[in-house]
Amino acid sequence: MDYYHVKDNSQKNRQKQVFERMIELAGEVSKPLVVHARDSEREAYEMVKNTDIPVVFHCFSGDIKTMKMFEDSGYFISISTMICFSEKHKKLAEKINMDYLLLETDSPFLSPRRGRNEPAYLWDSVEVLSSITGYPHEEICQAVLNNVSKIFKI
């Protein structure tokens, strides 16, 4: 659900209806639910909190309190390459629990470099996260790999 450009309640309600169906489908096919919730993080949480499927909050840009609520529920938080230039995302990274961390590029958008974003730029996020948290690069990569394995059973 993305309320960033949506101010009309009827459009928000339509997004909720579609999201509810996506939650049902994820349960029916036993697949993780990857949630894009911009300016709607808490509403999305209320809709998924009673599911028993893995949940990833993709491209998370909410606040620390909401992030902790998601982690307490066992949900994963995916931080985009925004961490490379956004103070807000750096503050989130300071507080994230590595047991729930994922990293992503959100390609082709949100590039930490000029132009189009690409998966190769993920390393930029690892470097910034390492400098913020003090965790070595290898430990960050291993944590992300472990979390991906848990979520997607690979």
Domain assignment of residue 2, yes or no: no
Give how many domains the chain has, as a whole number: 1
Is residue 4 a part of any domain in this protein?
no
User: pLDDT category, 7, cuts 50, 70, 90?
Assistant: confident
The two tokens of residue 152 are 């997607």
pLDDT digits (tens, 9 = 90+) for 66-122: 999 999 999 999 999 999 999 999 999 999 999 999 999 888 888 999 899 999 999
Handedness of CA 33, 34, 36, 37 (dihedral sign): positive
Q: What is the pLDDT of residue 150?
A: 96
Q: Could you list the residue range(s) of the whole structural domain that residue 68 is in?
A: 9-152
Identify the CATH number of the domain in which residue 45 sits: 3.20.20.140
CB 105, CB 122: distance < 8 Å = yes
130 is a domain residue: yes
pLDDT at 48 over 90: yes
Q: Tell me whether residue 79 is in a domain.
A: yes
How far apart are the C-alpha atoms of 56 and 37, rounded to whole Å? 10
DSSP 3-state percent helix, strand, coil across the chain (nearest 5): 55, 10, 35
pTM: predicted TM-score of the whole model, two decimal places: 0.92
Is 51 inside a domain boundary?
yes
> Which of these, 25, 5, 30, 3, lies nearest to 15 by C-alpha position?
3
| In a domain? residue 103 | yes
